[in-house]
Amino acid sequence: MHKLVVANYKMNGDKKFFVSVAKKINKTKAKDTKIVLCPPFVYLPFLKIKNKNVYLGAQDMSQVQNGKSTGKVSPTMLKEFGTEYVIVGHSEIRCNGETEQTIKQKIKLAIDNQLVPIVCVGEKDKSSGLEELSSQIQSILDAAAQGDNVVIAYVPVWSIGTGELPTVTKINKAVQVIKKQIKDKKLNASILYGGSVNEQNCTELLKSKIDGFLLGGVSLKVDKFLQIVKVVDNV
Ligand code: PEP
C-alpha cells in the first residue's frame, strides 16, 4: 500500500501562500507517497496541482448534501474544486459539540460522493488509555461498507501543537486497536499518526506501524513539510 502525508493548514495562510505551496509541492518527486493538501475552503482554487502524487482535501464538510445549512460547504461543492479527500471529526471540530452521529453522517456522505474521509480519532488526555477510540472507530464501521477507502488518523488531542508525543509503543497499540476493530469490515484503510510531528521526530515516529502522517503546524513551513514527505517516502 502507498504511504500518505496530509497537510492540515487549519485557519492559516493566504492566497499568496497557497499559490507558492502549489508551485513548490508540484516539483516534489515521491516514489510511493501520496500528499493531500487541506487548505481553508476559500483557498482550494489557488492550489493548482500538477503532480500525480498530490491531491486536494478539505478540512471539514457539511453532513447534508445541500439546503438550509448557513455557512456550510457540501461535498458536491468541494468536488467542483477538485477535492478528493475530506478531514472528518478533527478534535477542533469535535470540541464544538460535533457528535458521533454527525461524524457518521459526514463519513457516509463523503464516501457516497467519492471523497475519501480522513477520520480523526484519539484520546483527549495523556493519562488516558485508548478506550475512547472504540466509539470513534465504531462510527467509521457504521458509515462505511466493505472495500471503501478510508483514512484513519490517530491524533491524540493532548499532542496537537504541544510538542508532546506518544511513544512508538502507544502508537502501535492504537494501530492495533484500530486494525482489530475494523478487521471484519475489510475496509481499504490507511492509518496515520498526527500530533506535533516535525522534521526532527518523524524518523522515530515512523518506527511505528503507520502509513504516514497528518501534519498541522509544520505544514506551514513548506520546506520542512517536504523534508518529512521525503523521510516517509524513503521508509
Ligand atoms: C492536527 O491538529 O491535526 C495536528 C496534527 O496538529 P499539529 O501537527 O500542529 O500538532
Angle CA(65)–CA(41)–CA(141) in degrees, nearest 5? 50
pLDDT at 48: 95
Residues 6+ apart with CB under 8 A from 123: 129, 130, 131, 132, 133, 156, 157, 158
More confident residue, 155 or 129: 155
Average pLDDT over every residue of 88-94: 95
What b/e string do you get for 42-81 counting C-beta neighbours within 10 Å, with b at 16 or more? Answer: ebbebbebeeebbbbbbbbbbbeeeeeeeeebbbebbbee
Position 127 scores a pLDDT of: 87
Summarised one tens digit per residue, pLDDT across range 221-234 is 999 999 999 999 99
Say if ligand 1 is within 6 A of residue 192 CB: no
- With a 6 A CB cut-off, is 217 part of the ligand 1 pocket? yes
CA of 20 to the centre of ligand 1 (A): 21
The predicted pLDDT at position 112 comes to: 98
Residue with CA at minimum distance from ligand 1 atom 3: 216
For position 44, what pLDDT does the model report? 97
Give tens-digit pLDDT for 185-222.
999 999 999 999 999 999 999 999 999 999 999 999 99
Residue 128 has pLDDT above 90, yes or no: no
Q: How many helices (H) and strands (E) does the chain have?
A: 8, 8
- Confirm or reject: Cβ of 8 under 6 Å from ligand 1: yes
Smallest CA separation from ligand 1 atom 6, residue? 216
What torsion, rounded to 10 degrees, do the Cα atoms 103, 108, 109, 110 define? 90
Structure confidence by residue, pLDDT tens digits, 31-85: 999 999 999 999 999 999 999 999 999 999 999 999 999 999 999 999 999 999 9
Per-residue pLDDT band for 129 (boundaries 50, 70, 90) equals confident
* pLDDT value of position 85: 98
Tens of pLDDT, residue by residue over 11-31, are 999 999 999 999 999 999 999
Instruction: Tell me if 45 CB under 6 Å of ligand 1.
Output: no
Query: Cβ neighbours of residue 178 under 8 Å, at least 6 residues apart?
Result: 121, 133, 137, 152, 154, 189, 191
Q: Using alpha carbons only, how large is the chain's radius of gyration in Å?
A: 16
Ligand 1 lined by 161 (C-beta under 6 Å): yes
Report how far apart the first and last C-alpha atoms of the chain are (Å, whole number): 13
Give the chain's mean pLDDT: 96
Side-chain half-sphere exposure of 143, counting CA atoms within 13 A: 27
167 Rama class: left (phi>0) / alpha (psi -120 to 50) / beta: beta
The identity of residue 9, as a single letter, is Y
Residue-range domain boundaries for the chain: 3-233
Per-residue pLDDT averaged across 141-152, rounded? 97
Percentage of the chain with pLDDT > 70?
100
194/179 Cα distance (integer angstroms) = 17
> Which atom in ligand 1 lies closest to the alpha carbon of residue 217?
9
* Residue 1 pLDDT level (bands cut at 50, 70, 90): confident
For domain 3-233, give the CATH number: 3.20.20.70
Q: Which single residue is written with the C-alpha cell 472528518?
A: 88
Q: Is the CB of 214 under 6 A from ligand 1?
A: yes
Q: Which of 155, 165, 199, 200 to mutate to test the pocket of ligand 1 (most atoms within 8 A of CB)?
A: 155
Q: Does ligand 1 come within 6 angstroms of the Cβ of 39?
A: no
Q: Residue written as cell 481499504?
A: 188
Find the 9 Cα to ligand 1 centroid distance in Å.
Answer: 9
Atom of ligand 1 nearest to the CA of 194: 5
Q: How far is the CA of 67 from the centre of ligand 1 (A)?
A: 31
Condensed to tens digits (0 to 9), the pLDDT of residues 32-42 reads: 999 999 999 99
Write down the pLDDT at residue 228: 98
Ligand 1 lined by 171 (C-beta under 6 Å): no
Check whether 153 has a pLDDT greater than 90.
yes
Indicate which residue's Cα is closest to atom 4 of ligand 1: 216
